[in-house]
Structure 1
């Protein structure tokens, strides 16, 4: 278990790496022409393949999982699979900035559920920071918002995807109290991919016949936004509240919009750049009160305050 001094370095570093990694997700999805359910399925299964070398070392913990833990893993895996299915589908109907901006409603869902589920009472500064960040994120995608039926369909899919990942985050917070990041991530990824496979088979969506380019995209999604993004956020759930981990994800619209400019030639306006600054300012306000405390470090054996 990392000590307090190590955590004070690892947590900000993990947040920065995670935000940068998930910002590539929408770009990679746009590069693929495969069905979104297939992209999501292979993204998660290939992440499992990359994690396999460490499976034997965690077998003792796996053998001790209870029936309740397996049911919760199935539930969080289902929520994760549904999130990928809905959000990736939204990118077929709307722009990167519009889709990722609507995902910023995730921390609101998480905070509201946290108040009910974990009896967490948000501070005023947290509410202000979240409000500013969400406004900034929405402004990033505002110029792309359209009231055509196709765009509204994409926006709705992204919104439902945000709700699904909020459920995944909250269940993950509960499981990470007694489960390692490796075991939680490995089986939530695996079960999500299996549920997506069932969906593909039910819809008669081909599981094979994809070219080398598609497999390259699947592997990029597995390695970058899944392992360096979602895995790190799963690790952070042990040390931060679910709402705080969700807040760090708000950096994705800014990163994705800049990457879309560079890699997809989607234009970025000065208003969007200003909106990015507003977004990051809101995230800073929310997170500036460090959630870790030396006073409780001994109590949680190195974990953070309010974990």
Structure 2
């Protein structure tokens, strides 16, 4: 691998991970701006994001040598899009109404451990002793961080929010495991664009079923925050991560994205005034250690 190619890939991956981690900050800021439900905020996010994915899908379909998807591939991408960016995102936005941005990112960061377990169950992939230890470290760290948040706010809210984010992590892991099976066949950019389009269709459908077709009015600040969330924490990092994976590999990219929980905690401290305790930092360190062990093992 050329050094310049690796540097570009590394820069794209770490920047994408940092931008992704800001999503929770935007969601919390919107909740503080006005009373809004999760599906409305998610619909605004995708309303601003979807044109970029439609254009990407159109450009890719017009390329010379483009291979048309089979009916089965269309169905699989639609299922993964619904799970990974519709159900998962909805649970994430709902959970952030109850818990801190830092705890949300830590729970969500457990998705590689769930992906490992799904791979073991679905494809009979053996879990090594190192991976077992990594799982133990990650879940111990999660419990430490969970206890730290319970001490800072009402226990019931933390439990409800954590369960919602846990569901988000599990459905996203399903998306990652399934994506690993189909991306080599259709390409990462095409897969991402189509998956986001299908997810948006589900989001808009739920929005219209819930709120009808009448135009709802929100504050200008809410629209501005959702627009930033769409561009800064959705469109840009999606393409940056895809290109990063292409240049330096999925394993290296997964390890680099470990900056996510740390950057979220830092951003939450700066923009949301969320407290940072030693117990939270200890839990974060254990989760990162466990996930990094799994990522390095998978890369080898």
TM more than 0.5: yes
Per the TM alignment, residue 262 of structure 1 is displaced from its structure 2 partner at its CA by 0.4
Give the secondary structure class of the aligned counterpart of 1:143: helix
In structure 2, the residue matched to 1:107 is 112
Mapped to 1, the partners of 2:115 and 2:43 lie a distance apart of 25
Unaligned runs of 5+ in 2: none
Mapped to 2, the partners of 1:250 and 1:4 lie a distance apart of 24
- The alignment's C-alpha RMSD in Å is 3.1
Unaligned runs of 5+ in 1: 293-307
Q: 1:189 aligns with which of 177, 191, 196?
A: 196
**Cα deviations across residues 206-256 of structure 1 (Å, max 9, x unaligned)?**
664233222222222222222343444455677436xx8777655433222
Structure 1 contact 181–231 (Cα < 8 Å) conserved? no
Give the secondary structure class of the aligned counterpart of 2:299: coil
Structure 2 contact 53–194 (Cα < 8 Å) conserved? no
Are the structure 2 counterparts of residues 285 and 148 from structure 1 closer, same or farther at C-alpha, using a change threshold of 3 Å? closer
Q: 2:260 aligns with which of 246, 252, 257?
A: 252
Q: Which moved more, 1:148-157 or 1:63-72?
A: 148-157
In structure 2, the residue matched to 1:59 is 61
Mapped to 2, the partners of 1:8 and 1:162 lie a distance apart of 29
Aligned residues: 288
In structure 2, the residue matched to 1:202 is 209
Mapped to 1, the partners of 2:131 and 2:237 lie a distance apart of 23
Task: Say whether 1:21 aligns with 2:27.
Answer: no
Are the structure 2 counterparts of residues 288 and 99 from structure 1 closer, same or farther at C-alpha, using a change threshold of 3 Å? closer
Are the structure 2 counterparts of residues 46 and 52 from structure 1 closer, same or farther at C-alpha, using a change threshold of 3 Å? same
Higher relative contact order (CA 8 A, sep 6+): 2
Q: 1:69 aligns with which of 62, 70, 73?
A: 73
Per the TM alignment, residue 126 of structure 1 is displaced from its structure 2 partner at its CA by 3.5
Structure 1 contact 18–230 (Cα < 8 Å) conserved? yes
